[in-house]
């Protein structure tokens, strides 16, 4: 039983009060088919909205099965509607992007049914309203009459005892109207049906009660057919929508409107790209800043780790084997001083300098791989602004400070971020020869003759000097023959003394006997054997280069665990002051937060525009008994789906770029240091943005009443 007692309703608009209903008294029962007529503006809709709990009233009392409702909260009304009432509107209020089947399914999912359990019931209902052929047609493609049949089927799906229809035929031609009213009548057994209509003639034969309204009052209330008044309104059991259904709807909504989907895809893609770029920019700054310089080391490649053994022992072959097996090591340079050796090449017109390139090279960009000992490769940036590579190729050069001549036979372009200087690749024999010349410069050599220390002497090799002997210039050492010469060689790793006998002296004229060219009088010539004994130690110090800056610390730890001392070039080069670094870090955090906030507002702004047309969808959900929480949940699932889908595609795309299947250098660059954990963090940020947007938009949905939302959409 549904009863109104002296119910009045006023509308307040722009400070003016308008009368909706005044002092309406009415009692309706199960099994009735109530027809309401009246002029436009006479209060019919107001009456229906109050009866169906879509609107509240000011005065009087409404009773549901005898229970007062004046104290009802919004939630109470929601429960009342879910348990008792379904509505049919003049404008159908279907979900246009859903098929007939899905529209009916929606009502069932909202009442807690599982998708798998409702198929037969839905098909049965579709059959009942004669839409078999259209079950998979989108609602937007249907005629008005067909739409209203779907609306009726949806009411039946909810199986509520009360069906309230406000001008269900108002937008239909007379044939369609007739059949809708007929269907409505056919399904109305044991229900309370309340219909507002102008088709008085067609409907009169079904009516059990006729009500006429005027100016907010009931002016006629005529019972045509007495019915049994004992029947209580039987509330339908309504469970809450299941998680699965909420997910299903969110998923469906994400994709079922193509234009919306594409726009959302673009927004989420933009957010994804911006976040990953921003993230990667920080990582690059963290890893690749190469501003550092050092007075000791020329090769300040920040992937370099200098190693030595804990008790200053020599490296053994086993040591090297062990080190090479560390996973993230790119390459190993045993003779560490080659790393910091700067090579100068002169020709008649050109002067080139650079460090040595100490990795193996198997292909070049121009020219060819060296075949002879004195053939070298030049490594430089492809777009050098001061070198024409064709010009330096196949030319002869002298290695500064030596009488070695080389030819550049190949050019290798290296545009990697770390390549901030030109480099030369030398065949192994040539490297060894240079090393031999350089060795004395890497330790402190002091020479004593007759127990007197003599400075500024240089030691070089002559093939003609026998082992155990030395040749000195007769300019300084004319009478020193057969005297003993002591050579002390010392650095942090060792301190050794060698004794040689002065065999003879040389001068500018007779130096040919030593098979060398005259340079100056400060040179001591000794045999290669002695030279090697004095200078050529095995290695006390080597360098490893890691594949990637991000593994630098790990490799260092591993080396330490194996018992080596490590020295990171990165930590031992001079760079920006600590203060600026700290400031930079704080700035980074601020920039990220500002960026995320900006993204949020841009995204929210765009999404609000895109979702404006979605207000009626959520009004429909509400009219089917969905609470605010459920609406927000469904919207959230939709956002999550879109975010995940877009981000997933973006990740696949980045993967293809990394595998060089897609060639886009921008994306290759930005992903260089981004790791799995970073991708997960960005994904979480994306989900957070989706959540915030859903919550914000969710508040908007519920600002207006269902009826008002529908009216605004019209
Ligand atoms: P009917 O459905 O019979 O055409 P309504 O119930 O819609 O009549 O309207 C009854 C009266 O209440 C009318 O005078 C109308 O102008 C007024 N009214 C209805 N809805 C509103 C509203 N939302 N704000 C202000 N006045 C309203
Ligand atoms: Mg109306």
Q: Give me the residues paired with residue 407 across strands.
A: 375, 396
Task: Give the end of a domain, one of 390, 417, 436.
Answer: 436
Q: Containing H/E element for 554?
A: helix 552-561
| DSSP 8-state assignment for residue 139 | G
Task: Please state, in angstroms and rounded to a whole number, the distance separating the CA atoms of residues 655 and 663.
Answer: 11
The bound ligand whose nearest atom lies closest to the alpha carbon of 36 is 1
Q: What is the pLDDT of residues 400-418, one digit of tens each?
A: 888 899 999 999 998 775 5
Say if residue 320's pLDDT is above 70: yes
**Average of per-residue pLDDT across 16-41:** 92
Say if residue 303's pLDDT is above 80: yes
Number of H helices, E strands in the chain: 21, 28
Q: What is the pLDDT of residue 157?
A: 92
The residue contributing the CA closest to ligand 1 atom 14 is 41
Task: Please state, in angstroms and rounded to a whole number, the distance separating the CA atoms of residues 369 and 156.
Answer: 83
46 CA distance to ligand 1 middle (Å): 6
Q: Is residue 420 part of a domain?
A: yes
Tokens of 16: 């003016």
- Which pLDDT band holds residue 348 (cuts at 50, 70, 90)? confident
Range in 10-19, 286-295, 456-465, 672-681 with the lowest mean pLDDT: 286-295
Query: Quick check: CB of 9 below 6 Å from ligand 1?
Result: no
**Average of per-residue pLDDT across 329-349:** 89
**509 and 545, same domain (yes or no):** no
**134 and 47, same domain (yes or no):** yes
**530 and 605, same domain (yes or no):** no
- Residue whose C-alpha is closest to residue 650's, from 250, 267, 260: 267
Say if residue 288's pLDDT is above 80: no
Task: Give the end of a domain, one of 410, 436, 462.
Answer: 436
Which atom of ligand 1 is closest in space to residue 18's alpha carbon?
26
The bound ligand whose nearest atom lies closest to the alpha carbon of 47 is 1
**561 and 697, same domain (yes or no):** no
3-class DSSP assignment, residue 621:
helix
Q: What is the pLDDT of residues 229-249, one digit of tens each?
A: 777 778 887 789 999 999 999
**252 and 230, same domain (yes or no):** no
**15 and 101, same domain (yes or no):** yes
- Give the mean pLDDT of the chain: 88
70 CA distance to ligand 1 middle (Å): 21
- Which pLDDT band holds residue 549 (cuts at 50, 70, 90)? confident
The residue contributing the CA closest to ligand 1 atom 18 is 20
Ligand 1 pocket mutation pick from 7, 38, 46, 49 by most atoms within 8 angstroms of CB: 46
Task: Give the end of a domain, one of 408, 436, 464.
Answer: 436
Q: What is the pLDDT of residues 254-265, one digit of tens each?
A: 999 999 999 999
Q: Is residue 29 part of a domain?
A: yes
Query: Quick check: CB of 41 below 6 Å from ligand 1?
Result: yes
Q: Is residue 296 part of a domain?
A: no
Rg of the chain, C-alpha, whole Å: 45
Question: Which runs of consecutive H residues, i.e. helices, occur in 171-242?
Answer: 174-186, 200-204
Say if residue 165's pLDDT is above 60: yes
The bound ligand whose nearest atom lies closest to the alpha carbon of 54 is 1
**630 and 698, same domain (yes or no):** yes
Q: What is the pLDDT of residue 575?
A: 57
**196 and 257, same domain (yes or no):** no
703 CA distance to ligand 2 middle (Å): 22
CA 709 to each of CA 13, 449, 605, 616, 635: distance values in angstroms, whole numbers, following the listed order: 16, 106, 20, 6, 17
Which atom of ligand 1 is closest in space to residue 12's alpha carbon?
25
The residue contributing the CA closest to ligand 1 atom 23 is 11
Q: What is the pLDDT of residue 672?
A: 74
**Average of per-residue pLDDT across 193-207:** 88
Instruction: Tell me the Ramachandran region of residue 702: left when phi exceeds 0, alpha when psi lies from -120 to 50, beta otherwise.
Output: alpha
Q: Is residue 293 part of a domain?
A: no
- Residue whose C-alpha is closest to residue 334's, from 188, 171, 482, 544: 544
> Within 13 A of 521's CA, how many CA atoms are on the CB side?
10
Query: Quick check: CB of 580 below 6 Å from ligand 1?
Result: no
**605 and 475, same domain (yes or no):** no
59 CA distance to ligand 2 middle (Å): 21
Q: What is the pLDDT of residues 388-397, one digit of tens each?
A: 888 889 999 9
Which atom of ligand 1 is closest in space to residue 42's alpha carbon?
3
Range in 93-107, 440-454, 571-585, 690-704 with the lowest mean pLDDT: 571-585
Tokens of 637: 């699932």
CA 291 to each of CA 380, 418, 570, 625: distance values in angstroms, whole numbers, following the listed order: 19, 11, 10, 64
Task: Please state, in angstroms and rounded to a whole number, the distance separating the CA atoms of residues 3 and 24.
Answer: 10
The residue contributing the CA closest to ligand 1 atom 16 is 41
From edge to edge, which strands make up the β-sheet containing 523-526? 452-454, 444-449, 484-490, 495-506, 469-473, 523-526, 458-461
Query: Quick check: CB of 212 below 6 Å from ligand 1?
Result: no
Task: Please state, in angstroms and rounded to a whole number, the distance separating the CA atoms of residues 698 and 677.
Answer: 31
Query: Quick check: CB of 18 below 6 Å from ligand 1?
Result: yes
3-class DSSP assignment, residue 213:
strand
Whether residue 206 contacts residue 181, with contact meaning beta carbons closer than 8 Å, is answered with yes
**Average of per-residue pLDDT across 469-473:** 92
Reported residue count of the chain is 714
Q: What share of the chain has pLDDT > 90, as a percent?
A: 49
- Which pLDDT band holds residue 295 (cuts at 50, 70, 90)? low
DSSP 207-232: -SEEEEEETTEEEEEEESS---TTPP
Check residues 573 and 633 and name the one with the higher pLDDT: 633
The residue contributing the CA closest to ligand 1 atom 1 is 41
Q: How many domains does the chain have?
A: 5
Q: What is the pLDDT of residue 494?
A: 78
- Which pLDDT band holds residue 625 (cuts at 50, 70, 90)? confident
Q: Which CATH number fits the domain that encloses residue 137?
A: 3.40.50.300
CA 351 to each of CA 373, 387, 397, 399, 406: distance values in angstroms, whole numbers, following the listed order: 21, 11, 9, 10, 13
**488 and 372, same domain (yes or no):** no
Whether residue 603 contacts residue 271, with contact meaning beta carbons closer than 8 Å, is answered with yes
Say if residue 291's pLDDT is above 60: no
Say if residue 284's pLDDT is above 80: no
**24 and 157, same domain (yes or no):** yes
Which atom of ligand 1 is closest in space to residue 40's alpha carbon?
4
**Average of per-residue pLDDT across 431-438:** 87
- Which pLDDT band holds residue 573 (cuts at 50, 70, 90)? low
Check residues 513 and 126 and name the one with the higher pLDDT: 126
Say if residue 576's pLDDT is above 80: no
The residue contributing the CA closest to ligand 1 atom 21 is 11
Centre a 10 Å sphere on the Cβ of residue 513 and count the other Cβ atoms it contains. 12
Say if residue 138's pLDDT is above 80: yes
Q: Is the dihedral of CA 51, 56, 60, 63 positive or negative?
A: positive
**Average of per-residue pLDDT across 81-106:** 94
| DSSP 8-state assignment for residue 450 | T
Say if residue 419's pLDDT is above 70: no
47 CA distance to ligand 1 middle (Å): 10
The residue contributing the CA closest to ligand 1 atom 12 is 20
Task: Please state, in angstroms and rounded to a whole number, the distance separating the CA atoms of residues 55 and 47.
Answer: 9
Q: What is the pLDDT of residue 663?
A: 82
The residue contributing the CA closest to ligand 1 atom 22 is 11
Which atom of ligand 1 is closest in space to residue 43's alpha carbon?
6
3-class DSSP assignment, residue 178:
helix
Which residue segment(s) compose the domain that 136 sits in?
2-234
Task: Please state, in angstroms and rounded to a whole number, the distance separating the CA atoms of residues 466 and 34.
Answer: 129
Q: What is the pLDDT of residue 247?
A: 97
Say if residue 27's pLDDT is above 90: yes
Q: Is residue 297 part of a domain?
A: no
Q: Is residue 666 part of a domain?
A: yes
Q: What share of the chain has pLDDT > 70, as a percent?
A: 96
Q: Is residue 618 part of a domain?
A: yes
Say if residue 324's pLDDT is above 60: yes
Q: What is the pLDDT of residue 675?
A: 81
Q: Is residue 229 part of a domain?
A: yes
Helix axes 428-438, 528-535, angle to 10 degrees: 80
Ligand 1 pocket mutation pick from 13, 17, 18 by most atoms within 8 angstroms of CB: 18
- Residue whose C-alpha is closest to residue 312's, from 176, 531, 491: 491
**564 and 654, same domain (yes or no):** no
Q: What is the pLDDT of residues 673-709, one digit of tens each?
A: 788 888 999 999 999 989 998 998 888 888 888 888 8
17 CA distance to ligand 1 middle (Å): 11
Residue 465 has φ and ψ, to the nearest 5°, of: -85, 130
């Amino acid at each position: 039983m549904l009863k109104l007692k002296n119910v009045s309703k006023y509308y307040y608009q722009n400070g003016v009060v308008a009368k909706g209903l005044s002092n309406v008294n009415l009692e309706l029962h199960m099994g009735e088919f109530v027809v309401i007529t009246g002029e436009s503006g006479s209060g019919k809709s107001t009456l229906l909205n109050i009866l169906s709990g879509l609107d509240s009233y000011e005065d009087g009392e409404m009773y549901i099965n005898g229970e007062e409702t004046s104290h009802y909260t919004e939630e109470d009304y929601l429960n009342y509607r879910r348990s008792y009432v379904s509505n049919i509107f003049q404008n159908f209020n279907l979900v246009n992007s859903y098929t007939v089947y899905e529209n009916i399914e929606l009502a069932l999912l909202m009442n807690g049914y599982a998708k798998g359990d409702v198929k037969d019931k839905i098909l049965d209902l579709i059959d009942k309203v004669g839409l078999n052929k259209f079950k998979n047609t989108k609602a937007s493609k249907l005629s008005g009459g067909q739409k209203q049949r779907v609306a009726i089927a949806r009411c039946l799906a909810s199986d509520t005892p009360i069906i309230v229809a406000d001008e269900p035929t108002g937008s239909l031609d007379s044939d369609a109207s007739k059949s809708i009213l007929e269907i409505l009548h056919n399904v109305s057994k044991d229900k309370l049906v309340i219909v507002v209509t102008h088709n008085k003639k067609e409907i009169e034969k079904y009516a059990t009660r006729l009500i006429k309204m005027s100016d907010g009052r009931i002016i006629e209330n005529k019972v045509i057919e007495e019915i049994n008044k004992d029947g209580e309104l039987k509330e339908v059991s309504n469970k809450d929508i299941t998680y699965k259904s909420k997910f299903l709807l969110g998923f469906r909504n994400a994709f079922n409107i193509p234009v919306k989907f594409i726009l959302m895809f673009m927004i989420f893609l933009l957010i994804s790209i911006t976040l990953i770029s921003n993230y990667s920019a920080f990582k690059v700054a963290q890893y690749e800043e190469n501003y550092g310089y050092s007075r000791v080391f020329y090769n300040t490649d920040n992937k370099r780790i200098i190693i030595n053994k804990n008790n200053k022992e020599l490296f053994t072959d086993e040591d090297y084997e062990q080190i090479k097996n560390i996973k993230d090591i790119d390459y190993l340079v045993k003779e560490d001083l080659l790393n910091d050796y700067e090579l100068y090449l002169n020709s008649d017109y050109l002067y080139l300098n650079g460090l040595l390139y100490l990795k193996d090279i198997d292909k070049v960009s121009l020219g060819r791989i060296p075949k002879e000992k004195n053939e070298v490769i030049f490594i430089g940036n492809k777009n050098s602004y001061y070198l024409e590579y064709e010009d330096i190729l196949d030319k002869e050069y002298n290695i500064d400070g030596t009488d070695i001549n080389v030819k550049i036979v190949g050019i290798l372009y290296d545009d990697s971020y770390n390549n901030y200087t030109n480099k030369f690749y030398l065949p192994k024999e040539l490297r060894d020869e240079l090393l031999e010349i350089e060795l004395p410069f890497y330790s402190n050599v002091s020479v004593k003759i007759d127990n007197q220390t003599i400075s500024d002497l240089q030691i070089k090799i002559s093939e003609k000097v026998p082992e155990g002997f030395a040749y000195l210039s007769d300019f300084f050492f004319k009478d020193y023959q057969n005297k003993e010469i002591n050579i002390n060689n010392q650095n942090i790793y060792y301190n050794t003394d060698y004794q040689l006998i002065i065999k003879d002296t040389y001068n500018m004229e007779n130096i040919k006997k030593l098979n060398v060219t005259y340079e100056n009088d400060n040179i001591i010539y000794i045999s290669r054997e002695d030279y090697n004994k004095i200078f050529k130690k095995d290695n006390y110090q080597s360098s490893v280069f890691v594949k990637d800056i991000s593994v630098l610390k790990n490799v260092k730890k591993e080396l330490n665990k194996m018992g080596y001392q490590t020295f990171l070039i990165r930590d031992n080069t001079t760079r920006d002051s600590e203060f600026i670094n700290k400031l930079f870090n704080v700035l980074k955090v601020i920039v990220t937060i500002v960026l995320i906030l900006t993204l949020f507002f841009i995204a929210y702004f765009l999404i609000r525009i895109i979702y404006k047309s979605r207000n009626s969808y959520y009004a429909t959900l509400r009219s089917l008994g969905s609470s605010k929480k459920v609406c927000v949940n469904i919207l959230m699932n939709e956002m999550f789906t879109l975010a995940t889908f877009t981000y997933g595609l973006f990740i696949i795309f980045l993967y293809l770029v990394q595998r060089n299947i897609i060639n886009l250098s921008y994306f290759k660059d930005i992903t260089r240091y981004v790791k799995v954990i970073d991708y997960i963090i960005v994904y979480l940020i994306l989900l957070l943005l989706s959540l915030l947007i859903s919550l914000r938009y969710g508040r908007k949905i519920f600002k207006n009443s269902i009826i008002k939302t529908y009216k605004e959409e019209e």
